[in-house]
Structure formats: structure tokens, C-alpha cells
Structure 1
């Protein structure tokens, strides 16, 4: 029997009145209405739709609502369909467009609404904003999605490495109305059998899991098409440098840049934080997993004030779009926010580093002129994969792990540059190119970029991964390591780690070519990487050169 913890809904906040809002199919969604001072005079409304319990401690929505009410906003917080106090079936991602539209429509008909609605929220409730925007409701005046993406939760396809959270999310927060927490034993295959044990213990299946595994059924998320195909909504788009979901956010940025109307209404904000809003700027006293209420209150201004300034312009009409920076970003390792008209900002130039057979990273003429190639090998053992940096990938900066010891493993290749003589600002995209192959049928390649300090500790500052389908043949790969805004201090060096696993944040391949979630047997693979020569491992990044 699989042991689990089941968490049901909290009572509605004493600051709110709970309503049950009827959707077009008759399902009623539990909705807390917060009115500043109990005043039901018409005013602007901020809508928050989430699957994590509108009254629960994890997302502290009552504290957020209280802060918004302090600026005169009405706040509507709603459990999405099938979750906690709402009716209906818990089904990942597919009901948020129509339910978002119907909720906005309901708001506009209330006596306390002036017909102007904005939306705010992180992660899944950031996705709920994109879904609502796709329905083109005229009352939705602005959105403020944080650490999220329109492709949130998609199972892997093509050259994408599968995240370990993918199937589990459908079994924890989206099994049914309540939340379930249980531990996967990553040393015991098949993983799918452990899921069946959990479902048997609970006595009910998860609709979302069954639509993802063993055969993916891709349901339509946006009934009226991609949000970016419709009329543009002003958006304050917040990304964290250490957010594990940041690749989804950057993919949306790339899509928005292709659409002039959306691009004109897009305002980007990039902060030195992870998915759970822990910041590189946090002191030791702030790095606690269960943040007390007073700490949360003290951190609300940095979380919410940029949104309030944005809504002041685009919801209330006070000021103009010129008052909001087109791009506001933090250079991690420094205080404060910088602004620019675009991302990357003007003044960046690309620098290329090449890995050498002796474990160095070289740049400049040495990198361009390398012609001695070597085939470097290592063993991927599915029963002893390279461990992920932290147990909770969503709270990377809570732990700030030293990744230097990973280089001591035989299955991690390490390449290190010379220390820089002065501070260097790494700003813009980071890409790796390499030639790889394996004696196994498929191969995962992970590349981590680290800041190696003079004391020998290493902080990960960028990473990327790629799945190679036909790995027995030499394959040229390009690996997206995301975007950087980071100050490398004088005396520090860059280090690159290359491996074939990063578990359990990503599901480790069994070595047999079988589906890693359902595979029973495992076998080690010998992995190959070309180092040196024109096809060897290269890291391309950009440096900001300021006057």
C-alpha cells in the first residue's frame, strides 16, 4: 500500500464572501469575493484562478487579496473546476479558457464591478490568464502572468527531455478535488507500476493521468486558438532567472515577438528568483521553506507592486504605456532593476568558448583555431544516475546548492575556463553545440553552466538538455541553455558540466530505448562526446559591454 497525505480545502477567508459561480454547463465554481472595506460600489477587479486552494496556506491568497484591496481593487479568487471547493471534474488545463471567460462575464454583472477586469498569478494560475486572454473577453484589460507558459504541463515530445514532475502532477494536485502527496521511489522500476499502486490505494483513477499515459491524448487548451492569434491584451510578463519553468516563458516571448500587436503590448520583467519566488537577493533569514505570515507580508511589495503599477496604467488609465519599462531586468549578483527597450539589451556581443580534451574552456583565437578532436566517453548507469541539484526543483534558490562536487563523478564531464580578471556581465541567450553518440538507442544530454568561485564552490547559472532519438549515429545537437543576466565577478571562472542524466528532476533513461516511465529492465550505456576540432563542444554566450 502506498502511503500518502491528503489535503482538503481550507475554510474561506474571513475577509471574503464565498459565491458559487455557475459556468455555461451548470457547474458551479467556488469563488471568494473581497471588497475593500466591504464597499460594494463599482470598482476595478483583479481575478485570480488557481488549483491550489483559494483559502489555503500554500498560496496565501487572502494576504495577496488584502494587499490588492489596500489599493482599492475588488479581488475575486476562484478554485478552478474540480478543485477543492469547486464542482466538476479535475481535468488539467482544458477548461480554463471557457471557465475564465464565464467568470469574467459574471464579474461584469455584479454591482461592485465597473466592467474592468485584470488577472494576476503564478504558474498554473498564470496559465489560466493566457487561457482567459485567448477568449477575447472585452472586459479583460490586462494580465500579469508570472513563472508560467502557454505550454505548461505538456508531456515531452521530439527532442524534449521528460521532466519527472509531468505525470506526478496529474496524481497530486489533479487527481481529484483534494491534493495528494506521496513519494515516488526512483530506485524502483517501473515507475508506472508505483502509480498503479497509489491509484489502487486511493481507490480512484486520475482522468488527467489516464489522458497522458500510456498514450497521450492532447486535448484542446484554447478553443479559439492560441492566445497570440487573437487581439492583444496588455501583459506584464514576469520570468525568474532560476525558474525551472523559464523555458516555457521564453518560448512564449519568442512567439509574442513574431506578432506585432502582441509585441507592442508586451512588457517583460526578469527577476533573480526561482519558481517559488525565492530570490538570489534573499538573506539567510528569508530562506525558510514555510515562510511565516509576517515574512510573506514583508515580501508582498516586491511581488505585487510592479503589477499594481502596470494595472494603474492599463486598467485605470492613469499615465501612459511610456511609464512602464519595456523590459525591466535584474543583473543577478547586483542590486536593483535595469531597463532596456528590448531583450537582449543593446550593447551585447557573442563570445564562444570551446571545450578541450584536457578539461579546459578556451575562448578567442584559441577556440577558433582548435583542430585536434578527441572522443570523450563516460557511462550512463540508469541505476546510479547523476543526481539533481535539489530535491525540490521549484525552490532552487532556497537551497543554492554547490554543484562543484558533481565533477568528481565518473559520469560527469567538467570543463573549466581561466578566472576572469575583472567583472564580466553575461547577458542574453546561451547555446551549446556538440556532436554526440551512444551505444544505446537513445540518449539524453544535459549541459549545466556554473559560476566557479575562488573557494571552489559552484553555482549553476544556466542549463539545458536535449533528447537524441537515434543516438547510435553521430549526431550534431544544439542545446538551448536559456537566457542569462548574471555578473561573473573578478577571480571567478566558468565551468561546464555535461552528463546523460539529471534525476529525478528529469526521468532517467533505462538504457534500453524503452519508455522510461514504463521500462522494467535497465542497462548501462557508453556515451560519446566530441571535444576539440570544428565539431567539438562549444558554448556561445553574450557579454554586455557598457560605456
Structure 2
């Protein structure tokens, strides 16, 4: 490792004259070095150290590291609107970073979440100096991967982020009253205003917030097309980094698959058992062991050494897909993303799956006779969010008490006769109806241990409009990779709410931005299976090779 100079501050000007400020870390040894650029909106001193090593560590590996405040954040000038200026500003910033004293003219970018997105916007403008990216845990398609899932607004996550950004915006403006009100709301989310998704504190203190635009555009319209990055003409080597319990995993995979399908450059993918933050061995209620300790900093340095310094690090000889297999708690090296033939497990029930876990089951054969389970969703006591990729705290949580509720249907396999490995995408086809024009469906897939404990593996959500009992409803779950041991079981839990991860569906069929608590009605839902209506869970049962990371 090289000695590192004290942090410097440097400024640049965008094409429209806006000053952007950055911290620069550089080796204290004369020479010519590649540049690593991170562009972020949270105050550059943080430098994403919630998941990465400090920039000085990267500088000690022989890089000039630039951590820049995006437009309108930190000490950078201009007005901030999430993602709106990151393409042009990213292009200007890459070109500026490439010409810093001591730079060899080659730039790589790293960062997660918003900092992952700024990489994509910069790459979309194709600056010549930009040679490689390491995008981590970012949404990519802002509508489908961040704002809405299955047509349902991601309430808790989006509101939390809006309050975080607007609180910091108030601080930068010196508005103490707005800061205190928004800060207080961020620590105790305002979930029960007349229109739940439009809390009064945001309307009063941040009426200009992008958050209201996200609510207004509840369909994937032109607004989202313009706001999301477009990489059709981009071909760069990328190291894609994700987590099984990260809320943006679908975005990671969307980008990886798109690039892999057309790129002439290496595309590597690594997914750990982590939530959005932190990246460690203990996630939710489980400890995934020493192999789950964050390896990303050393991996990124190997990647940058390969593509920015021309070193043969051996990384291109390793399997390009590295997945952490939960359960066995080890890394699996694969040549491609797993796409096993989905295997169907049909829902069987006596009609009492809401009352007892012994009354609903999952079996490979379709029920010969039509079966139905009817349950009631009461907005006064909606099924709460617990664990998974959107609730706080995220990750695998013990949910046996939730499964005892009478507004949760449960379907469980018999104890497994051999180990199962699930690897890839999971989905459901459900035949359901309700006594209202609109209802929600939440699906949670869990592992049932022999002692009766139940731990969340993955989940999915769907807002349903005008369902027909003879037409299947498709519901996609978060991808996963897990080994379920012999003697354990797999469970599907279905409900009509997951609050406050998603807003409670009032049943009116109105857009979410107009739904009021006072309109929320009790809903009766019926799930059909058997006969011509074979409600089923589609599982990616796979066999995987044994190479480690």
C-alpha cells in the first residue's frame, strides 16, 4: 500500500456554469494514476463508507479517488432534483477528473444506490475517458425498480428517502423550521395523514419535492422514460453488485442481463446475502457465517487493476457469476445466471388455510377438484411488513406469529426428503377475486425449520385491478439463492397487505395519490385452486457447481 496525501478539495464547472465540489485523495508518491470517481448526494465526506472502505484506502492501492457532491448537494451549487442532471453533469465530471494533475487519463466509477445510478448516467453520454463501472444496488428502471413494484407504490422506502433528501435540502437552505419538522418526521414516519402517501409535513415544508411527481406518474409513462438512464449505445466492462435482500435487486439484474445480451466486454455479477446496508454476515435474524463478510472492496480493486492498470489479476479466469448460497452459507461460482426450468407446486387447501397451517399445502400435482380459501382484509389492522427486501429492518425475520393471523393464507410443503436448492426467479400464478374493484396481493416465501420457526426468504407484491376469477394473476418475487435442508419445509404466505412497505389498498380503484384512509373498506378475498384454476408457485429448483468465490 502507498502512503496517501491529506484530503484535498477541488472544484469544476459544468457546461452551464454550475460549480461542483469534490474531495480528492491521491497517493503521496509521484506518478501517473487512474482515477476512481464517485458522484453522490449525501455529503461527500460520507463517501459511501456505510458499505465501502474509506477513499483513502483506495488511494493507497494506487488510485486518485474523487468523491463529488452532485448538483445542489453538499457544497456544490445549483438546484437538486434526483437524477435529472446526472447525465450531462456526469459527462463533464468524468472529463474533468481525467485531466486532474497526476491522472493517466483513465477513469473508473464505483458506488451503490444513487452513486450506482450516477455511473449509469455518466456512461450513457459515452465519455472517452470512462473505461469501466462497478454499479451496485441501484434501480436502473426508476419506475419498475424503485417507485412502484407490481403497480404498487413502495411507500415506506420512498417516503423515507424523500424525507432524508428534503431534510438535508432544508439544512442547506438554512431553514431551521423545515429542517426540524422534516427531521422529526423522518424518525417517526407520518403514515396516517388523510391521504396516507401525501403527508402534510412534506406538503408544508417541501411542496416542490420530486416525491409528488413520483406519485403523480403512477404508470410507466414518458416522465419515467426521460428520467431513467439509457445505455443502448454503451459497452463497458462492468462489475454488477447486488444483495438478496436489497430493494433494488431487480434493477441490478435488469442491467446485468441487458448488458450481457449485447456487450463485447466482460460483465461479472456478484450477489451476497445482504440488504441495502450494511453488507455483513448478520442479516435480519440470521448469521450467514464468515463467508458473508463484505469482500467487495478487494474485489473492486482487482477489477479496476484489470481494466484501468492493465494488470492480469486472474479475475477474468474466474466464473463471471458469484452467488452466495444461503443455507449452506457459501459462494457458488457459475458461468451464467441460473435459469432452471420452473417447477410447479400447486396450492391445496381444505378451505381453512387462513385458520391453520395444517390446512394448506404445496404439492407438485394440481388438485383435481376446485378449492377455495376466503379471508377478510381489514384496513384497521393490516398485515404488517416484516423483513424481506422492503421492510425495516430488512432480511430474514421470524414470522410464525404473522402466519397465525386469520388474514394470512399459508401453504406449506411436507418436510423435504432431500436438500433443495432454489436459484433464480420465483413467481406465482394465482386465481383470485374480491368484492371490490381493486385489491393487493402480498406473497412471502419462507423456510420452515423443524422447530417451527419460520424465516422469510423472499417476497413479491402486486396491485390488482378488476380481476377476473378465470384469469390468472402473475406475481413475481425477488430472486433468491438458498439451500433448504432435508427435514425443513417451504411455505407460501398470502395476504392483502404489507403495511407500511406498501400503502393499504382502500379497494376503491382510485390512484394511490388520491386514496384516503376514510375510504378504506373491509375487503373479502377468495383464492381459487384446483380444476381449471390451478393456482401455483413456480420454483427455480436447481443444481449448482461447487466453486467458491
**Normalising by the residue count of structure 2, what TM-score does the alignment of the two structures yield?**
0.85
Q: 1:34 to 1:62 in 2, by over 3 A?
A: farther
Match of 2:207 in 1: 205
Aligned-pair distance for 1:15?
3.8
Check if 1:413 corresponds to 2:418. no
Q: How does 1:40-79 map to 2 (within 5 A)?
A: 41-56=31-46, 59-60=49-50, 63-79=53-69
Match of 2:375 in 1: 378
Q: Tell me the matched-pair count.
A: 513
Q: 1:337 to 1:260 in 2, by over 3 A?
A: same
RMSD across aligned C-alpha pairs, in angstroms? 3.2
Match of 1:29 in 2: 20
Aligned-pair distance for 1:115?
0.6
Q: How does 1:234-245 map to 2 (within 5 A)?
A: 234-245=237-248
Match of 2:267 in 1: 266
Aligned-pair distance for 1:44?
0.8
Q: Alpha-carbon deviations, 1:416-435, whole Å to 9, x = none?
A: 11111232211222111111
Q: Alpha-carbon deviations, 1:52-105, whole Å to 9, x = none?
A: 221138745995202211211110001111112221112011111111111111
Picking from 110, 131, 139, the partner of 1:120 is 110
SS of the aligned residue for 2:245 comes to coil
Match of 2:498 in 1: 502
Check if 1:468 corresponds to 2:468. no
Q: 1:134 to 1:220 in 2, by over 3 A?
A: farther
Rounded Cα–Cα distance in structure 2 between residues aligned with 1:82 and 1:177: 12
Match of 1:17 in 2: 8
Q: How does 1:520-539 map to 2 (within 5 A)?
A: 520=516, 521-539=519-537
Q: How does 1:277-296 map to 2 (within 5 A)?
A: 277-280=278-281
**Normalising by the residue count of structure 1, what TM-score does the alignment of the two structures yield?**
0.85
Check if 1:338 corresponds to 2:332. yes
Rounded Cα–Cα distance in structure 1 between residues aligned with 2:282 and 2:160: 31
SS of the aligned residue for 1:191 comes to coil
Q: How does 1:165-176 map to 2 (within 5 A)?
A: 165-174=157-166, 176=169
Check if 1:229 corresponds to 2:232. yes
Rounded Cα–Cα distance in structure 2 between residues aligned with 1:95 and 1:221: 14
CA contact (8 A) 1:325 1:341 kept: yes
Match of 2:77 in 1: 87
CA contact (8 A) 1:150 1:248 kept: yes
Picking from 306, 310, 317, the partner of 1:323 is 317
Rounded Cα–Cα distance in structure 1 between residues aligned with 2:5 and 2:286: 30
Aligned-pair distance for 1:153?
6.0
Match of 2:441 in 1: 445
Q: 1:232 to 1:434 in 2, by over 3 A?
A: same
Rounded Cα–Cα distance in structure 2 between residues aligned with 1:27 and 1:139: 21
Q: Alpha-carbon deviations, 1:504-541, whole Å to 9, x = none?
A: 01111112222334322211111121123342321111
SS of the aligned residue for 1:272 comes to strand
Where in structure 1 are there 5+ consecutive unaligned residues? 1-12, 288-297
Q: 1:449 to 1:213 in 2, by over 3 A?
A: closer
Rounded Cα–Cα distance in structure 2 between residues aligned with 1:44 and 1:272: 31
Rounded Cα–Cα distance in structure 2 between residues aligned with 1:331 and 1:285: 14
Stretch deviating more after TM superposition (487-496 or 204-213):
204-213
Rounded Cα–Cα distance in structure 2 between residues aligned with 1:299 and 1:199: 42
Q: Alpha-carbon deviations, 1:126-175, whole Å to 9, x = none?
A: 11111111111111111111111212366756942210133553343156
Rounded Cα–Cα distance in structure 2 between residues aligned with 1:466 and 1:215: 17
Q: 1:213 to 1:544 in 2, by over 3 A?
A: closer
Rounded Cα–Cα distance in structure 1 between residues aligned with 2:528 and 2:33: 62
Rounded Cα–Cα distance in structure 1 between residues aligned with 2:319 and 2:388: 36
Stretch deviating more after TM superposition (321-330 or 410-419):
321-330
CA contact (8 A) 2:388 2:457 kept: no
Stretch deviating more after TM superposition (477-486 or 147-156):
147-156
Match of 2:175 in 1: none
CA contact (8 A) 2:51 2:279 kept: no
Q: 1:470 to 1:141 in 2, by over 3 A?
A: same
CA contact (8 A) 2:241 2:269 kept: yes
Match of 1:357 in 2: 349
Q: 1:173 to 1:221 in 2, by over 3 A?
A: farther
